[in-house]
Amino acid sequence: MSRYIVNGGQPIKGEVSIRGAKNASYKQIIASLLSNEKTYISNIPHISDVHITESIAQNLGSQIDKVGEHSIEISTPKIKNFIVPKGTGEKSRTSFIFAAPLLTRTGQAIIPFPGGDKLGARPLDRLFDCFRQMNIDVEESNNQIHFRSDSIKGTNYEFVKPTHTVTEVIIMTAVLAQGDSIIKNAAQEPEIDDLILMLNSMGAKIRRSPSNPGTIEITGVSSLHGTQHQVIADRNESITFACAALSTKGSVNILRIDPKIIETFLITIEKMGAKVIRGYDEVSISWVGPLKAIDIETGPEPGFMTDWQAVFSLVLTQSVGCSTIIERIFPSRFQHINTLNQMGAKTKFFNPQVKDPSTYYHFNPESDDPKYFHGVKIYGPSKLKAMNIEVNDLRAGATATLAALTAIGESTINGVEFIERGYEKFMERLKSLGADIKYIKT
C-alpha cells in the first residue's frame, strides 16, 4: 500500500492547472461506444477510474489509442460481447453506465453490481423504473443486473429526486431510442451539460428547456457518428486546491477553470472572508485574514456539491466560530470527520430536525440507518497535530492529505491509491505549490 509522507505547517502558494473532470471523462469514454465511428476526446486525466473504464471498453471491443499526453482516439466498430467483466466492473461505479451503449447496440447488457466509495447505498431503482418504461427488462440475480430489450422506446419520466449519473445513463439510452423522451426533474450539473454537448456533436438531438433547466427533451435518432470533444474542467479538483490554500493560510491561482461552474463555492468562501478574483478561465483565491464560520447544506446543482464538503470541512476547522454542515445527498459521508477529530479538530455530530426527511434528503429512506448522522458542527480554529492516517475513500483521502499539510510535523497518509482514483499527480502538483510531501510506492 503506497503512502505520502507530509511535513506540514507551510502555506500553499502558487499556480495550478486543472485537469479534465473525473465525473465527465470516464462517462464520455463510455458515450463514445454509442457510435461505431472514431471519437477524439481531449483533456482526459490520468486517474485510475479512467483507466478502469478504458479497460472495460477494450474488453467490449473498443480500440483506444493515446494521442498526446491527455487525449485519446477511441473507436468501437463492433461490440464483441454484452457482459461487463466482473473483476473490473466491481471496482468502480462506472460499470452500470455501460448499459446504455450495450443495450442500444446489442439489445442486452449484463452488469456486475457497481463498486466505488463507501458512502452508503447507491440505489439504482430510479434507473430501473425509467428503463422499464422504455421497454427494457431488468433482472437482478447473482450480484449482477441483466438488461434486455428488442426495441427501446422513448418515454416521459420524472425523477422523484434528481440523480446525476442516472440522468446521464437515461440520456445516453434515449438518444438512440424510437421516438421522443422527456426527462423531468433531471440533474443540472455542468458535467451533464458537457455530455449533452458531446452527444449533440455526434448527431444526437438533446435540449434543456430554457425556462425549466430540470427538463431535458430528447428526440431519438437512428445512429450517431464520431466527434472531437474536450472534457470540462474538474470542479472537485479546483475546490481541493482552493481548500489547500485556505486551510494553510496561503493563496492559489487556479488555471483552466470557468469560475461559473464553481460559483456556489466562490460565493461561500467570499462570505467567510476569503479574497476571490474571477477571470475568464481562471480564478485566484487567497487567505487574507481569519475566516468566519458558516453554515452550509449539500445539494444538487446549483447547490453546494457533496463532493466538496469533506475538503471544505478542513477549512472550517481553521475558521473562527461554530460552523455546520448538513449532508443531504448521501446517508453516510462524514468518515473524514473522525480523522480530523484524531488530529485535534473539535466537532459534534447531530441530526437536523426536519419536517419530512423523505423530501428533505436526496437519498432513499431505506438507505438511511439510525447510526448515521447527517449533520456536524465544527468549532474553530483548531490546531491540528501530525499523525499516521489510513484512508479508504477518495475525498476523505484528499482531506487527510490537506489536513497533514495544515498540521505541524510529519504525517503519513496510507492508502493513497484511493486518492489516485480522482487526482492526477496529486503529490507532484501539491509539491509545486510549496508542499513538503513525498510519495512512497510499495
The answer on pLDDT for 293 being more than 80 is yes
DSSP 337-368: HHHHHHTT-EEEEE----S-HHHHSSS-GGG-
Domain range list for the chain: 3-19+233-440, 22-230
Q: Is the pTM of this model over 0.85?
A: yes
Q: Cα torsion at 255, 210, 268, 426 (round to 10°)?
A: -30
Q: How far apart are CA 99 and CA 22, in angstroms?
A: 19
What is the CATH architecture assignment of 22-230?
A: Alpha-beta prism (3.65)
The pLDDT tens digits for 377-389 are 999 999 999 999 9
The answer on pLDDT for 121 being more than 50 is no
C-alpha cell of residue 98: 455501460
Identify the band that residue 123 occupies on the pLDDT scale cut at 50, 70 and 90.
low
Q: Cα torsion at 427, 432, 436, 440 (round to 10°)?
A: 30
The answer on pLDDT for 438 being more than 70 is yes
Listed in sequence order, the residues at least 6 apart from 360 whose beta carbon sits closer than 8 Å to its beta carbon are 328, 352, 354
Identify the band that residue 90 occupies on the pLDDT scale cut at 50, 70 and 90.
low
Identify the band that residue 255 occupies on the pLDDT scale cut at 50, 70 and 90.
very high
Closest to 381 in 3D by CA, of 440, 311, 318 = 318
C-alpha cell of residue 146: 441483466
Residue 115's pLDDT is: 57
Residue 120's pLDDT is: 42
**What is the three-class DSSP state of 171?**
helix
Question: Please, are residues 257 and 18 in contact by the beta-carbon 8 Å criterion?
Answer: yes
Residue 89's pLDDT is: 64
Residue that the C-alpha cell 478504458 belongs to? 54
The whole-chain average pLDDT of the chain stands at: 94
What is the CATH architecture assignment of 3-19+233-440?
A: Alpha-beta prism (3.65)
Phi, psi of 195 (to 5 degrees): -65, -45
**What is the three-class DSSP state of 322?**
strand
The answer on pLDDT for 311 being more than 60 is yes
Q: What mean pLDDT do residues 72-78 have?
A: 97
Residue 92's pLDDT is: 66
C-alpha cell of residue 270: 467570499
Q: What mean pLDDT do residues 282-304 have?
A: 97
Q: What mean pLDDT do residues 138-145 have?
A: 89
Closest to 383 in 3D by CA, of 247, 210, 191 = 247
Q: What mean pLDDT do residues 286-304 have?
A: 97
- C-alpha angle 95/101/103, rounded to 5°? 95
Identify the band that residue 366 occupies on the pLDDT scale cut at 50, 70 and 90.
confident
Identify the band that residue 119 occupies on the pLDDT scale cut at 50, 70 and 90.
very low
Q: How far apart are CA 96 and CA 124, in angstroms?
A: 9
Q: Cα torsion at 100, 106, 110, 113 (round to 10°)?
A: -10
Q: What mean pLDDT do residues 95-123 have?
A: 79
17 forms beta bridges with 255
Identify the band that residue 70 occupies on the pLDDT scale cut at 50, 70 and 90.
very high
The alpha-helical segments, DSSP class H, found in 124-262 are 125-133, 164-174, 190-201, 235-247
- C-alpha angle 96/99/102, rounded to 5°? 145
Residues belonging to the chain: 442
Closest to 205 in 3D by CA, of 189, 183, 224 = 224
Question: Please, are residues 413 and 437 in contact by the beta-carbon 8 Å criterion?
Answer: no
The CA radius of gyration of the chain, in Å to the nearest whole number, is 22
Q: What mean pLDDT do residues 243-262 have?
A: 98
Say how many C-beta atoms besides its own lie within 10 A of residue 111's C-beta. Answer: 21
Strands of the sheet with 375-380, listed across from one edge: 295-297, 321-326, 375-380, 346-350
The answer on pLDDT for 130 being more than 80 is yes
Single-letter amino acid, residue 313: S
> Strand 228-230 relative to strand 39-42: parallel, antiparallel, unpaired?
parallel
Of 18-22, 112-116, 237-241, 407-411, where does mean pLDDT reach its minimum?
112-116
The answer on pLDDT for 218 being more than 90 is yes
Q: Is the dihedral of CA 289, 290, 294, 296 positive or negative?
A: positive
- C-alpha angle 340/322/316, rounded to 5°? 45
Q: What mean pLDDT do residues 387-405 have?
A: 93
Could you check whether 3-19+233-440 and 22-230 share the same CATH topology? Answer: yes
- C-alpha angle 180/183/186, rounded to 5°? 155
Say how many C-beta atoms besides its own lie within 10 A of residue 159's C-beta. Answer: 18
The answer on pLDDT for 283 being more than 60 is yes
The answer on pLDDT for 122 being more than 90 is no
The pLDDT tens digits for 170-209 are 999 999 999 999 999 999 999 999 999 999 999 999 999 9
Q: How far apart are CA 188 and CA 43, in angstroms?
A: 22
Selected residue with higher pLDDT from 421 and 241: 241
* End-to-end CA gap in the chain: 6
Closest to 340 in 3D by CA, of 424, 398, 285 = 398
Q: What mean pLDDT do residues 110-117 have?
A: 72
